[in-house]
Structures are given as structure tokens and as C-alpha cells.
């Protein structure tokens, strides 16, 4: 049973990682709390579901969901955040919260208030090794998250654009003086972060077999807690924090059987981290 | 200027006169349901079914020649909203009686308001005890009636079937952490233990919000129970059933009326097959009342009727029946409701109301071929008679 709970925890933690990474990347480069990121995640789920209902292929719907989310993220950056960058950071935060609420209402009006089923199967089948049992959707989540993380790692460490992105996160002005197009880097940052949120939306849609207008409301604040836990802007820290939160939630419920609201785990962890390690799990003091 | 004011005054008087004279002919009956918001699917079912009933009544000439004017409000599953609606129905709409097509939350906050105003309300499927009971005065709300089962009764009936008919000896319980979930699972556990079954585990999940039941179900799987009693609405129900199947759990799943929705069958898909529920609508009831309703509902809305719709329809018809007997005076309607005896309801024959609580058999349905079908009926008086306080 312990192995099974481990699989459950890592699977949900992986999805948290995909959502939180975009958030932490945006914070790292623009110092904006991008609350509407959870709206982009929901949008990804809806675009994926729509594509799936039209073509009936999971992989294509995943790509469409990611593409839809990436484009939406790009528009948010270009038309909402960039024009506000000269204002205090509270302005884009308010815009972000407003946009998130507007997106949720828009989903409800367009797609209806009902939960929609995202009944995608890819034909992987389940994986059983002894008492360790991974369901098909869990396998899918682990596989896709791993692939995306590998891509992100390679992109950030092996390409010039990735280098420029890391430089921007440290000091945009100096980076700009080296002839780097900072605006372009910010746009790429949003495209990648939003595509990951879109992938998370599609994966959760399939994992829970449910897509609904307010599916982003819990991730909206949980991702925030995870990002703080990982150290704002710290990418490996965020991945670690996501897995830790996913596992902690699962073990609190399934092993310790503490009647404890699941969504509180991330926040208790966040409070502890702020008290004892305000620079995050992997950050340096 | 003065002339303008005078003209405006005449206009207002004219509008008021027309409005009141129109009201004078119709019988105003109030209705509220969560038509938008998180329970919108149930709200739509309730509204659709009651409108079907309204059409039947008015097409047949209304009540003693007067048409019923149904005043519909959307409470969005929000108790604050429901309080405003209750006051509007009393003050503005002058409703002679009210039908709740909503959940416990909005219904129980309106109950004391209607009780105080002396306006009878029939609740379709709200389960909380405080709908018919005033906890501050420690006495029943004698203007409030309930067509659905108390959570404890439905849970006890489910346990009766689980232990006596399904021969379950080891049982695990997973329930949502709200009024309904707590009431139904405690009713279930008490009856099951009384009948000699062992409750292996009792887990509560957060409602609303929980979507990932794998940690709970993995724990249940370890105990290898004969039966899992699960409480939740159709979204949670569908997730529980699907995820149990994914994890390779083979124990029989027994649910409750929250499962009773076409949305459950749609989202759960093939995993729903074989799931048993306790509810109050029997699709295989041969009475023409039931078969005509199911047929007409399907024809009108192009989807199958569910428990929520049927219960709200019943609540409306019970009220209409009482108005037919007693006229439009609210006190007389209440008296007629109190005297209800062997009423032929869509969701079963109602023998009477005990302190506002319905007395009727609990239906047991099973999912077969993607549809709910009859499996059994629990009519043991010891189980289905509500306790008097």
C-alpha cells in the first residue's frame, strides 16, 4: 500500500510542478504574482478537451491544450503585464486577479456550468510490479512531466536563449546592455510557462476525468504556496516543493489517516518555510 | 413639472393595478433552486421537472379554474441569496406556498423565515434535519414538509440492504464532509453495526474540492472490504467509482441519492456498471404516473429524469394537491399537508408526514447497461419511520 500511495503522491505532485513552474518563472523574471496563471491552466484543459472531442486523439489534444495556453499566456504578457511594468507591482497583481475571475466566468458562460468528462485513453495500459501499481493516467502524468522537465532543463542550460533567460532573471538591465532582446525573452518565458500550465490542465482533466469552470481556483493559491516553498523564482526548488506537497497530502490522508483538509498541507508547509527558511527549500540564505 | 409628477403617479397606479389584478387571478407558488453555480445540473433538473408539473396542472385547467403562477428564483447554492429570495417570495410575490428544489444549505435558512410567516414549504430533496426542525426553539417547523428522506433514514436503509441482501460483513465508508455526508454515513454505520457488520474504516473527504480519491481508496483497498459505502454528489461519486476501478478495487460500491444523476453515468462511464444506490426514484415502477413522467421528461428535455427532478416534481404536486383541497389560504394549506394520507407520489406512496418528515419506502437501484434499474425496496418500518423528537 505504501508503494501505491507513493505513486499517488508523485503523480499529483508532478501536476503541481507543471502548474507552479510557470508561476515561478514569471515571478523570477518580472517579479509579478501571476494569479491568472490558474486561468491559463483551465483554458488549457478546455482547449484540450475541445480538441479531443473533435479529433479523438489524446496526444493531439495535449499539444492543442499547450498551444492554446501558450498563446493566451503570450497575450496576457503582451497586452496586460508589459504596459503596466512601470507601475508598482500591485497594479499587475490586481489586473491578474481580475483576469482570473473574468476567465472563470467566461468558461462558465461558453462551456456551461457542468463538469465535462475528458475520457481520453492512450492505450498504455496499467503497470504492475508486485504490489506497486501505476494506473495508465499516472504513467502518462509521470512520463509527460518527466519529458517536459528534461526539455526545460536542456533549454535553460544548453541553449543561448536559455542562458539569456537565466541572465534576465538575475538582472534584466545588464542583460539588455549585452544586446539581449529582453522583451523577446520575457515573451518566450511566458510561452513556455503557460504551455506547461496547459499541459497540467489537460493532464488533470484526464486524471480526474473532469473539466469544469472553476477547476483553477484551488491550484491558484496552492501553486502560490508551492512557489514560496520552493523559493520564489527557484526552478529546481519548485519541482522539489511540488513533489513534497503531493506526497505530504497523500500520506496525511492515506497513511496517517489524519482527518485533515488536504489543501491546508501546502500552506502549513509554506508557513513553516517562511519562519525557518524564508529563501525556500533549496534557496541560499 | 407638477403635471409631469401627476402623470407619473397615474402611470404607477395603473401599473400597480394591472399587476395586482393579474395576481388576483393566478395562484402564486414560489420555487427556488441552484440554477447556476456549482450545483447547476441539479438546479436545472429540479426546475425542468417542476415546470413539467406546472404545465400538466395548468393544461388540465389549473386548480379550480385558477392557473398556478410559478415564481422561479435561482439561489446559486448560496444561503444568503436564499434568505433574500424567501423574503421576496413572502413580501413581494405573496406566494401562498413554496417548493424548494435546492440543497440543504439554502433550504434550511429559508425554513425559519417561511415558518415565521406561516407559509407552507415543501422541500424536494434537501436532507438536513434542521429543515423541518427549529434547533433554537427545540420544536418542529410545522409549516415545513420534506418529500426526500432524512440523511439518517436513507443511510440506515442502505445499511439494511447492504447487510441483509448483499450479505456484507466488512464495510468501509468514504463520505464527503458536509451535513448530508455526515448524516447519511452516521445513519449507515449505526444500522450496519446493529445488524452485525464490521465498519473497517470511515474516511471523510473535503467537500467541495476533493477530486483525487486515490489516497483514500488505496487505504480502503488494503482492508479488502466486502462493500464500500460512498457518499457524495455525482461529480465525487463518478471520481470515486472510476478511481476505485483504476486501482483494481473489486468490492461492491454502494452509494446514495447523490449518485442518482445522468451526469454520474456520463462521467463514470463503464466504471458505473454494477454500482448500487439507495434513492427515492424507481425507474421500473410500473405505475403510469411514473412511466408517463419519465417519458414526458425525456420528450421535453431530451435527457433522462433523475432523483432531484422527480423529488422536486413530487414536492410541487404535493403542494398543488393541498391547495386543491384547501384553497389559497396558507393556514388551510398547511392543515391539508398535515392531513396527507396515502398520497400517490412519483417517488413512492407517501403514507403520511411525521413532524414534516415523509414516510415512504427507500428504493434500491443498480446501474445496468448504463441505466439505473430496480434492484430492491427497503420498506422495513423500523428503518424508514423517522424518529419523533
Q: What is the mean pLDDT of chain B?
A: 92
Which residue, among B246, B262, B268, B303, would best test binding to A if mutated, counting the most A CBs under 10 Å from its CB?
B246
Q: Is the separation of the CB atoms in A135 and B246 below 8 Å? A: yes
Nearest to A263 among B204, B209, B221 (CB): B209
pLDDT at res. B24: 53
Distance of residue A146 Cα from the nearest chain B Cα, in angstroms: 21
Tell whether B324 and B247 lie within a shared domain.
no
pLDDT at res. B40: 80
Whether the pLDDT of residue B11 is over 70: the answer is no
Tell whether B260 and B375 lie within a shared domain.
yes
CB contact under 8 A, B218 and A208: no
CB contact under 8 A, A4 and B247: yes
Tell whether B209 and B123 lie within a shared domain.
no
Residue B133 counted as domain residue: yes
Tell whether B190 and B219 lie within a shared domain.
yes
- Please report, for residues A51, A180, A218, B180, B211, the alpha-carbon distance to residue B230 in angstroms, rounded to integers and kept in the order given: 33, 58, 24, 12, 14
Residue B270 counted as domain residue: yes
β-strand pairing of B362-368 with B371-378: antiparallel
Whether the pLDDT of residue B60 is over 90: the answer is yes
pLDDT at res. B13: 56
Q: A11-20, B182-191, B206-215: lowest mean pLDDT where?
A: B206-215
Residue B74 counted as domain residue: yes
Neighbours of B191 (CB within 10 A): 22
Residues in chain A: 285
pLDDT at res. B116: 96
Residue B35 counted as domain residue: yes
pLDDT at res. B245: 94
Residue B115 counted as domain residue: yes
pLDDT at res. A52: 97
Residue B232 counted as domain residue: yes
Tell whether B156 and B265 lie within a shared domain.
yes
Query: How many CB pairs lie under 8 A apart between chains A and B?
Result: 87
Tell whether B165 and B209 lie within a shared domain.
yes
Q: pTM, whole model, 2 decimals? A: 0.87
Q: What domain range is B214 assigned to? A: 151-279+364-384
Domain count, chain B: 2
Give the three-class secondary structure for A186. Answer: helix
Residue B142 counted as domain residue: yes
Q: How many helices (H) and strands (E) does chain A have?
A: 11, 2
Percent of chain B with pLDDT over 70: 94
pLDDT at res. B5: 61
Tell whether B60 and B81 lie within a shared domain.
yes
DSSP, res B165: I
pLDDT at res. B389: 79
| A207 contacts on B by Cβ (under 8 Å) | 212
CB contact under 8 A, A119 and B212: no
Tell whether B55 and B129 lie within a shared domain.
yes
Tell whether B229 and B258 lie within a shared domain.
yes
Tell whether B180 and B272 lie within a shared domain.
yes
pLDDT at res. A130: 74
Please give the Cα distance from B294 to A127 (Å, whole number): 43
CB contact under 8 A, B238 and A209: yes
* Chain A residue with Cα closest to B235: A115
Residue B9 counted as domain residue: no
Please name which of A68, A88, A89 lies closest in space to residue A26, comparing C-alpha atoms: A89
Distance of residue A131 Cα from the nearest chain B Cα, in angstroms: 11
pLDDT truncated to tens, each residue of chain A (285 aa)?
Answer: 788 899 999 999 999 999 999 999 999 888 889 999 999 999 999 999 999 999 999 999 999 999 999 999 999 999 999 999 899 989 999 999 999 999 999 998 899 878 899 999 887 888 887 777 788 999 999 999 999 999 999 999 999 999 999 999 989 889 999 999 999 999 999 999 999 999 999 999 999 999 999 999 999 999 999 999 998 889 999 999 999 999 999 998 888 877 677 888 889 988 998 899 888 888 776
**CA Rg, chain B, in Å?**
22
Tell whether B255 and B377 lie within a shared domain.
yes
Tell whether B135 and B77 lie within a shared domain.
yes
pLDDT at res. B34: 94
In this prediction, residues B319-335 reach a mean pLDDT of 95
- Please report, for residues A121, B108, B118, B134, B308, the alpha-carbon distance to residue B125 in angstroms, rounded to integers and kept in the order given: 36, 12, 21, 18, 6
pLDDT in tens, B93-141: 999 999 999 999 999 999 999 999 999 999 999 988 899 999 998 999 9
CATH of the domain at B158: 3.40.50.2300
| A11 contacts on B by Cβ (under 8 Å) | 214
pLDDT at res. B4: 61
Amino acid at each position: 500500500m505504501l508503494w501505491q500511495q507513493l505513486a499517488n503522491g508523485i503523480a499529483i505532485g508532478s501536476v503541481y510542478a507543471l502548474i507552479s513552474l510557470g508561476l515561478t518563472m514569471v515571478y523570477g523574471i518580472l517579479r509579478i504574482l501571476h494569479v491568472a496563471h490558474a486561468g491559463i491552466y483551465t483554458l488549457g484543459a478546455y482547449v484540450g478537451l475541445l480538441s479531443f472531442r473533435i479529433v479523438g486523439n489524446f496526444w493531439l489534444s495535449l499539444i492543442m491544450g499547450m498551444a492554446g495556453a501558450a498563446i493566451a499566456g503570450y497575450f496576457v504578457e503582451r497586452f496586460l503585464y508589459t504596459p503596466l511594468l512601470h507601475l508598482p507591482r500591485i497594479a499587475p497583481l490586481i489586473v491578474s486577479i481580475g483576469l482570473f475571475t473574468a476567465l472563470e466566468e467566461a468558461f462558465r458562460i461558453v462551456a456551461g456550468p457542468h463538469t465535462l468528462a475528458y475520457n481520453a485513453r492512450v492505450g498504455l495500459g496499467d503497470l504492475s510490479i508486485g504490489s506497486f501499481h501505476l494506473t495508465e493516467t499516472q504513467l502518462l502524468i509521470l512520463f509527460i512531466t518527466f519529458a517536459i522537465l528534461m526539455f526545460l532543463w536542456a533549454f535553460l542550460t544548453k541553449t543561448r536563449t536559455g542562458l539569456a533567460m537565466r541572465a534576465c532573471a538575475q538582472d534584466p538591465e545588464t542583460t539588455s546592455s549585452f544586446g539581449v532582446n529582453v522583451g523577446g525573452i520575457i515573451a518566450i518565458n511566458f510561452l513556455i510557462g503557460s504551455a506547461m500550465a496547459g499541459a497540467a490542465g489537460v493532464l488533470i482533466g484526464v486524471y480526474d476525468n473532469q473539466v469544469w469552470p472553476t477547476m483553477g481556483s484551488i491550484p491558484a493559491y496552492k501553486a502560490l504556496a508551492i512557489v514560496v516553498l520552493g523559493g520564489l523564482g527557484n526552478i529546481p526548488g519548485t519541482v522539489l516543493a511540488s513533489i513534497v506537497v503531493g506526497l505530504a497530502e497523500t500520506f496525511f490522508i492515506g497513511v496517517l489517516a489524519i482527518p485533515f483538509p488536504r489543501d491546508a498541507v501546502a500552506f502549513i508547509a509554506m508557513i513553516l518555510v517562511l519562519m525557518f527558511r524564508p529563501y525556500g527549500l533549496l534557496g541560499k540564505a | 413639472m407638477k403635471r409631469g409628477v401627476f402623470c407619473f403617479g397615474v402611470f404607477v397606479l395603473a401599473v400597480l393595478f394591472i399587476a395586482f389584478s393579474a395576481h388576483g387571478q393566478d395562484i402564486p407558488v414560489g420555487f427556488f433552486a441552484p440554477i447556476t453555480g456549482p450545483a447547476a445540473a441539479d438546479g436545472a433538473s429540479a426546475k425542468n421537472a417542476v415546470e413539467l408539473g406546472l404545465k400538466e396542472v395548468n393544461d388540465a385547467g389549473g386548480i379550480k379554474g385558477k392557473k398556478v403562477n410559478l415564481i422561479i428564483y435561482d439561489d446559486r447554492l448560496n444561503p444568503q441569496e436564499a434568505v433574500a429570495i424567501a423574503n421576496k417570495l413572502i413580501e413581494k410575490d405573496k406566494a401562498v406556498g413554496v417548493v424548494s428544489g435546492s440543497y440543504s444549505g439554502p433550504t434550511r435558512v429559508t425554513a425559519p423565515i417561511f415558518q415565521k410567516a406561516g407559509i407552507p414549504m415543501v422541500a424536494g430533496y434537501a436532507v438536513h434535519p434542521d429543515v423541518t426542525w427549529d434547533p433554537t426553539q427545540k420544536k418542529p417547523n410545522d409549516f415545513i414538509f420534506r418529500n426526500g428522506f432524512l440523511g439518517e433514514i436513507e443511510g440506515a436503509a442502505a445499511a439494511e440492504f447492504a447487510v441483509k441482501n448483499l450479505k456484507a460483513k466488512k464495510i468501509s465508508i468514504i463520505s464527503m464532509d458536509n451535513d448530508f455526508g455526515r448524516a447519511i454515513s452516521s445513519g449507515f454505520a449505526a444500522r450496519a453495526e446493529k445488524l452485525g457488520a464490521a465498519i473497517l474504516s470511515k474516511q471523510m473527504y473535503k467537500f467541495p474540492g476533493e477530486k483525487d480519491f486515490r489516497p483514500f481508496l488505496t487505504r480502503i483497498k488494503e482492508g479488502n472490504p466486502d462493500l464500500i459505502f460512498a457518499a457524495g454528489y455525482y461529480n465525487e461519486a463518478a471520481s470515486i467509482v472510476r478511481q476505485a476501478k483504476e486501482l483494481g478495487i473489486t468490492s461492491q460500491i454502494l452509494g446514495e441519492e447523490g449518485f442518482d444523476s445522468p451526469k454520474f453515468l456520463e462521467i463514470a462511464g463503464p466504471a458505473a456498471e454494477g454500482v448500487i444506490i439507495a434513492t427515492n426514484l424507481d425507474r421500473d415502477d410500473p405505475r403510469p404516473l411514473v412511466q408517463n413522467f419519465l417519458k414526458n421528461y425525456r420528450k421535453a428535455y431530451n435527457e433522462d429524469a433523475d432523483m432531484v427532478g422527480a423529488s422536486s416534481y413530487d414536492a410541487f404536486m404535493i403542494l398543488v394537491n393541498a391547495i386543491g383541497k384547501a384553497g389559497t389560504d396558507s393556514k388551510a394549506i398547511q392543515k391539508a399537508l398535515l392531513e396527507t394520507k396515502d398520497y400517490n407520489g412519483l417517488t413512492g406512496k407517501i403514507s403520511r408526514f411525521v413532524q414534516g418528515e415523509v414516510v415512504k419506502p427507500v428504493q434500491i437501484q443498480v446501474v445496468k447497461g448504463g441505466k439505473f434499474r430496480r434492484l430492491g425496496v427497503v420498506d422495513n418500518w423500523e428503518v424508514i419511520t423517522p424518529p419523533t423528537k
